[in-house]
Amino acid sequence: MATPQEPEPDWVRVRASGKINLALRVGGVHASGYHPLATVFQSVSLFDEVSVRWAEPNRFTVSVVGEQADQVPCDDRNLAVKAARLLAQHYGPARLGADIVIRKTIPVAGGMAGGSADAAGALLACSVLWDLDTAPDELRTFGAALGADVPFQLMGGTALGTGRGDELMPVLSRGSYHWVLALSEHELSTPAVFGRFDELNPDAPDELDLPTEVMNALVAGDAAALGAALVNDLAPAATELRPGLARILQAGAELGALGSIVSGAGPTCAFLAANEAAAVDLSVQLSSQGLCRAVRRVTGPVPGARLITA
Ligand SMILES: C[C@](O)(CO)[C@H](O)COP(=O)(O)OP(=O)(O)OC[C@H]1O[C@@H](n2ccc(N)nc2=O)[C@H](O)[C@@H]1O
Ligand SMILES: Nc1ncnc2c1ncn2[C@@H]1O[C@H](COP(=O)(O)OP(=O)(O)OP(=O)(O)O)[C@@H](O)[C@H]1O
């Protein structure tokens, strides 16, 4: 195994995808402050890149480039640094260190689990850099300690998430779906959205039904049925905190989207298009309305955090 005295010449690079929730059912808050979820995640083709190289023992640095880089903390608050430190603590705090570079494309505090993607990327990249031979399910356990979305950001594809959203089962999904994303000018705090959810839903249940309509549409590869089944219990709370979201969702529906949804805790909105041509059309028309910071076309499902080998 390489040591800090004999540094690897190359960076280890990982590509980590953003996610949307095709269904997000939320139950009543637990004493832990977390909510039980029944969610269907899908990874989409908006990617951050996380690169790591050896640094001296117990030294962890991070720099961030790309979209909204100035909104990401470049110190121990960065989720990628937390991920690297967690692995190092477990496998050799006196031996391990890393310099981390993040190239951001996933919107910051946008409801697409960008920080969790970077944490997943750092876990995978550091485990390879440090030659730790960590099994995928062990990495997922480290991920769950960092945040509820991190295990899915390691796994990717399409999956059912229960518990805090970190207990995962792959979901059979036929075909590829064309999404148009409306990225917001402003961030939205996930705890604030869950907090508003609690105020709006004092009687939210403990037990949640599984989102079978969404799962059936995915098995059938039926985009129209999927569009009709999209559901997000956090949408009313997110829309109250960011009233502009209602107009964006309405615009997508008027422009012919098969379905419109707030992604996770928002404020990114996702619109399902029937095919690539419809997605191009929808994205051009949505851009011209000037309701959001930017519009992106993506497809899903794609893999989660994966090594870049080229
Ligand atoms: C909204 C989603 O993105 C949907 O996938 C996730 O539930 C959020 O996952 P996340 O950002 O990785 O969540 P964490 O970083 O673990 O927690 C941030 C905060 O979100 C809230 N939170 C998160 C997950 C969950 N099941 N219940 C919660 O109430 C809590 O207030 C928590 O303090
Ligand atoms: N590597 C990172 N990338 C982005 N934000 C980070 C990172 N590390 C820490 N943060 C902090 O985490 C906050 C939430 O960022 P993130 O982009 O993960 O939100 P999100 O996509 O809405 O999360 P989720 O969908 O998991 O709730 C940011 O405001 C930022 O201060």
Q: What is the pLDDT of residue 4?
A: 47
Q: How far is the CA of 153 from the centre of ligand 2 (A)?
A: 13
Q: What is the pLDDT of residue 8?
A: 47
Mean pLDDT of the residues in the chain = 95
Q: What is the pLDDT of residue 9?
A: 62
Closest by Cα among 173, 175, 148, 143 to 158: 173
From the CB of 101, is ligand 2 less than 6 Å away?
no
Taking CA atoms, 16 is separated from 112, 116, 146, in Å, by: 12, 9, 16
From the CB of 183, is ligand 2 less than 6 Å away?
no
Cα distance between residue 21 and residue 235, in whole Å:
11
Q: Closest ligand to 100 CA? A: 2
Which residues have CB under 8 Å from 206's CB, separation 6+? Answer: 27, 28, 36
Q: What is the pLDDT of residue 6?
A: 44
Q: What is the pLDDT of residue 94?
A: 92
- Domains of the chain, each with CATH number or no CATH: 12-171 (3.30.230.10), 177-300 (3.30.70.890)
Residue 117 identity (one-letter amino acid):
A
Phi, psi dihedral angles at 118 (to 5 degrees): -70, -35
ipTM confidence: 0.97
Residue to substitute in 67, 108, 262, 268 for testing ligand 2 pocket (most ligand atoms within 8 angstroms of CB):
108
Helix (H, G, I), strand (E, B) or coil at 54: strand
> How does pLDDT run across 199-256, given as a tens digit for each residue?
999 999 999 999 999 999 999 999 999 999 999 999 999 999 999 999 999 999 999 9
pLDDT > 70 fraction of the chain, expressed in percent and rounded: 97
For residue 37, the ligand 1 atom closest to its alpha carbon is 26
For residue 164, the ligand 1 atom closest to its alpha carbon is 26
What are the tokens at 262?
Answer: 């707030």
Closest by Cα among 195, 131, 194, 143 to 168: 143
pLDDT band with cut points at 50, 70 and 90 for residue 133: confident
pLDDT band with cut points at 50, 70 and 90 for residue 93: confident
The structure's pTM equals 0.95
| Helix pair 114-129, 79-91: axis angle to 10 deg | 30
From the CB of 78, is ligand 2 less than 6 Å away?
yes
Dump strand ranges (E) for the chain.
12-26, 37-54, 60-66, 98-104, 158-162, 167-170, 177-183, 231-232, 259-262, 269-273, 294-300, 306-307
Q: Is 109 annotated as a binding residue?
A: yes
82 is known as an active-site residue: no
Q: Catalytic residue among 48, 149, 166, 233, which?
A: 149
198 is known as an active-site residue: no
Closest by Cα among 298, 243, 247, 238 to 270: 298
Answer left, alpha or beta for residue 163, where phi above 0 means left and psi between -120 and 50 means alpha: left
301 upstream amide cis, omega within 30 of 0: yes
Cα distance between residue 285 and residue 187, in whole Å:
24
pLDDT mean over 177-186: 95
From the CB of 112, is ligand 2 less than 6 Å away?
yes
Residue located nearest, by CA, to atom 28 of ligand 2: 109
Closest by Cα among 191, 289, 276 to 248: 289
Helix (H, G, I), strand (E, B) or coil at 79: helix
Q: What is the pLDDT of residue 7?
A: 40
Q: If you write DSSP's letter for every residue of 204-237 in order, what string do you get?
A: --SS----HHHHHHHHHT-HHHHHHH-EETTHHH
> How does pLDDT run across 38-74, given as a tens digit for each residue?
999 999 999 999 999 999 999 999 999 999 999 999 9
What are the tokens at 288?
Answer: 């011209």
Q: What is the pLDDT of residue 310?
A: 73
